[in-house]
Amino acid sequence: MSLIKVKTLSVCLSLSLLSLSLSLSLSFSLIHWISLSLSILTQTELDQEKELEMRKWVLSGILASEEMYLSHLGAILLPMKPLRAAATTSQPMLTIQQIETIFFKVTELHEIHKDFYDALLPRVQEWSHNQCVGDLFQKLASQLGVYRAFVDNYKVAVETADKCCQANVQFAEICEVTLLYKPVDRVTRSTLVLHDLLKHTPSSHPDYPLLQDALRISQNFLSSINEEITPRRQSMTVKKGENRQLLRDCFMVELVEGSRKLRHVFLFTDVLLCAKLKKQTAGKGQQYDCKWYIPLSDLTFQTIEDSEATPIPQVQEEEIDAMKIRISQIKNEIQREKVSWLHKRRIPELCLFQGFTFLISSDYERAEWREIIREQQKKCDSSLTSLELQMLTNSCVKLQTVHNIPMTMNKEEDESSGLFGFLNVIVHSASGLKQSLNLYCTLEVDSFGYFVNKAKTRVYRDSTEPNWNEEFEIELEGSQTLRLLCYEKCYNKAKQNKEDGENTDRIMAKGQIQLDPQTLQTKDWQRAVITMNGIEVKLSMKFTSREFSLKRMPSRKQSGVFGVKISVVTKRERSKVPLIVKQCVEEIERRGMEEVGIYRVSGVATDIQALKAAFDANNKDVSVMMSEMDVNAIAGTLKLYFRELPEPLFTDDLYPNFAGGIALSDSVAKESCMLHLLLSLPEPNLVTFLFLLDHLKRIADNESINKMSFHNLATVFGPTLLRPSEKDSKIPANATQPITMNDNWSLEVMSQVQVLLYFLQLQSIPTTDSKRQSILFSTEV
């Protein structure tokens, strides 16, 4: 009996323990679930907080833009009152009818936007995340009918103002005719501003439906105008001619009077045609405008030296005065042409100039274009009539082989997006040379469709078997191909062949290999041999994907400078800018300002690592080391420092806002937002960035020699300065293919490039001694 009681007690105890265990397990699970839910909720709240913060910056920018627009409307209206007063006198400058025509509806527009500005300003000044402004934008959109009346009268107003300017010199001096275009420009961008605001307004916010309604009204208004004023166009197509075949086409950048223009260049068997891709509208097919053409029989290559040697004609002072008057007239004509969509379209005249300049960053491509054109020139001789030219231009839509502009992400689903990360390349040696030469090699890789020179070996003198054994670390941005070019160094200027263009060194051989993701996936070095024109160059390659190579990891050795927070380094050094940045910049400015491809061309990897170790150890002889090294290694060390910062110079917190600010449509709002964000950076980050920015601008001042434009510098430094640390990275942690990136990476990289490019091009950058509290636009928030 007692045995049964013991067993019963034992079973009860076991059941109690099991019940307790289950209860504890359920409790822990519940606690874990609650903790996880709170974590998700906290992250969601943080994201929403950042979104609402960006909303404030966008509205601040809209206020600045409205203030600018009101000043323009005020400038238009300034002479109206004295003109009206003079119209009732015996010597009127303009008639009442002319005044009413020129200033038609401008007063009403000024009143509408003044009311909008006065109502929006206090709401932004008394800002909270629950603040509502949607009703103001809804009211503004409901008053767009005034713009319809202005637009309908615009052509007559401009023509009347032009006639009055020609008839009356006094009126020409006081009237800003070109400003009449401002309301037209404003209304066409109204939907873009609303898109910007909606993008940064949570769907749960009370403003969201009001802003959607304002956007709907604006879109309907613009659609109704476009239906009335957009002329119908006819397109012409021709069959591919039997004697005229398309040999090659690609997008190129043409240098036109100091500015860069994107062109689509078509090389036919008898003619080179330069076209501009028209903006595609809804329901319209792709079309081209012909900018110019040259029969291949008339085409010659001009060197940079020849073009610089062309004498500049002297102009008499009377001619200069006449030119100034003509320039003023042309400026007015340009403003009228900007609204040509409001009037009957005119067929543009085809202008042929003496010479055309294309910017081609790749020597490989430059050589290919020369070779194919020179080969074709031996067997062609033809010209085009204007009708044939029009038909040929229209046929380019069907004949084109390159459909996507480089730097765009319109890839087919099965097309590789290229490699993102770092490729270490060792150039070992060359063989097969028939005579002793002074030989060096350059390496090119493609980046979003453009090939650029990334590395250059030293010149190996007087040898048939040069043996370089130099290692380079090359950053890949969507890269698929590695190109190698062998040059003979020309030391005797008398032997230079000017027919080859600006590059005085002769290309001996060129070849390329595809960067295969599967082959490069292993961590081992891969051997490769490039065979070209009987010459063999041996290489070794090792790839590190962006997922691993671009992690911002804090250094364990906090006494160094690499991988250490910039605030810690400047505090330790008692300086505003880290000494490594100062010393590298000073050395580069001392002897690297005219170095072709500075910051783009990689330095020797072993030299860069030696400098890194010297700076980390606070080696006093680092200045001597730098003076003896190739300047590209110093540039590489500076880039590596910024790349290895544990947090980007633009900070993780502000990075999403910079990315949002650069996407704003209104230029005034964008400037206001970007400058506010810039001044929000921590002091060491801000001062260091401004120091670096001034340096990069000085580099770009020598662009004609070093070939480093603002865009090139932004491409090199943008991701380095802005790429967020691992915790904010958008790369999925469980990526199945770590060495190839999707389009999100590419778009993110381009956004980073655009942010730095914007600051490089912006004139009103605050100086390093500016007060942090400076407000760079008139509306304080």
Q: Residue length, the chain?
A: 781
Q: Which pLDDT score, from 0 to 100, does residue 543 have?
A: 92
C-alpha distances (whole Å) from 529 to each of 394, 511, 536, 754 are: 44, 10, 6, 37
Q: Is the pLDDT of residue 428 over 90?
A: yes
Least confident among 42-56, 78-92, 337-351, 727-741: 337-351
Q: What is the 3 state secondary structure string of 563-577?
A: CCCHHHHHHHHCCCC
User: What is d(CA 396, CA 2) in angstroms, rounded to the nearest whole number?
Assistant: 103
Q: Is the pLDDT of residue 31 over 60?
A: no
- Give tens-digit pLDDT for 591-644: 999 999 999 999 999 999 999 999 999 888 899 999 999 999 999 999 999 999
Helix, strand, coil shares, percent, the chain, to 5: 50, 15, 35
Per the model's pLDDT, the better-predicted residue between 437 and 252 turns out to be 437
Angle at CA 362, nearest 5°, toward 357 and 364? 110
Least confident among 103-117, 269-283, 360-374, 515-529: 269-283
Q: Which pLDDT score, from 0 to 100, does residue 308 have?
A: 47
Average pLDDT over residues 505-522: 88
255 confidence band (pLDDT: 50, 70, 90): confident
- Per DSSP, the residues of 489-554 read ----GGG--GGGTT--SEEEEEEEEE--HHHHTSSS-EEEEEEETTEEEEEEEEEEEHHHHT----
User: What is d(CA 61, CA 671) in angstroms, rounded to the nearest whole number?
Assistant: 8
User: What is d(CA 327, CA 478) in angstroms, rounded to the nearest whole number?
Assistant: 44
- Give tens-digit pLDDT for 354-385: 578 887 778 888 888 888 888 888 777 666 66
Q: Which pLDDT score, from 0 to 100, does residue 134 have?
A: 93
Q: Is the pLDDT of residue 198 over 80?
A: yes
Average pLDDT over residues 13-30: 50
Average pLDDT over residues 690-710: 93
Q: Which domains does the chain have, with CATH numbers?
A: 40-228 (1.20.900.10), 243-306+344-399 (2.30.29.30), 419-491+504-549 (2.60.40.150), 564-726+745-761 (1.10.555.10)
Q: Which pLDDT score, from 0 to 100, does residue 679 have?
A: 92
Q: Is the pLDDT of residue 433 over 50?
A: yes
Q: Which pLDDT score, from 0 to 100, does residue 3 have?
A: 46
519 confidence band (pLDDT: 50, 70, 90): confident
Run of H or E including 276: strand 271-277
Could you tell me the pTM of the whole model? 0.68
Q: Which pLDDT score, from 0 to 100, does residue 690 have?
A: 95
Structure tokens of 574? 């008692």
Q: Is the pLDDT of residue 717 over 60?
A: yes
Average pLDDT over residues 698-720: 91
93, amino acid identity? M
Structure tokens of 155? 């052509």
Per the model's pLDDT, the better-predicted residue between 614 and 668 turns out to be 614
Cβ atoms of 566 and 649 closer than 8 Å: yes
139, amino acid identity? K
Average pLDDT over residues 17-40: 50
Per-chain mean pLDDT for the chain: 78
Average pLDDT over residues 490-502: 52
117 confidence band (pLDDT: 50, 70, 90): very high
Q: Which pLDDT score, from 0 to 100, does residue 302 have?
A: 67
**Burial category of 463 from C-beta neighbours within 10 Å (exposed 0-12, middle 13-18, buried 19 and up):** middle
277 confidence band (pLDDT: 50, 70, 90): confident
CA dihedral 108, 113, 115, 117 (to 10 degrees): -170
Q: Is the pLDDT of residue 349 over 60?
A: no
Least confident among 146-155, 188-197, 565-574: 188-197
Q: Is the pLDDT of residue 692 over 50?
A: yes
Closest C-alpha to 737, from 520, 501, 465? 520
Average pLDDT over residues 4-19: 49
Q: Is the pLDDT of residue 333 over 60?
A: no
Highest mean pLDDT among 283-287, 664-668, 753-757: 753-757
Least confident among 40-54, 517-531, 647-661: 40-54
Phi first, then psi: give them for residue 495, nearest 5 degrees. -95, 0
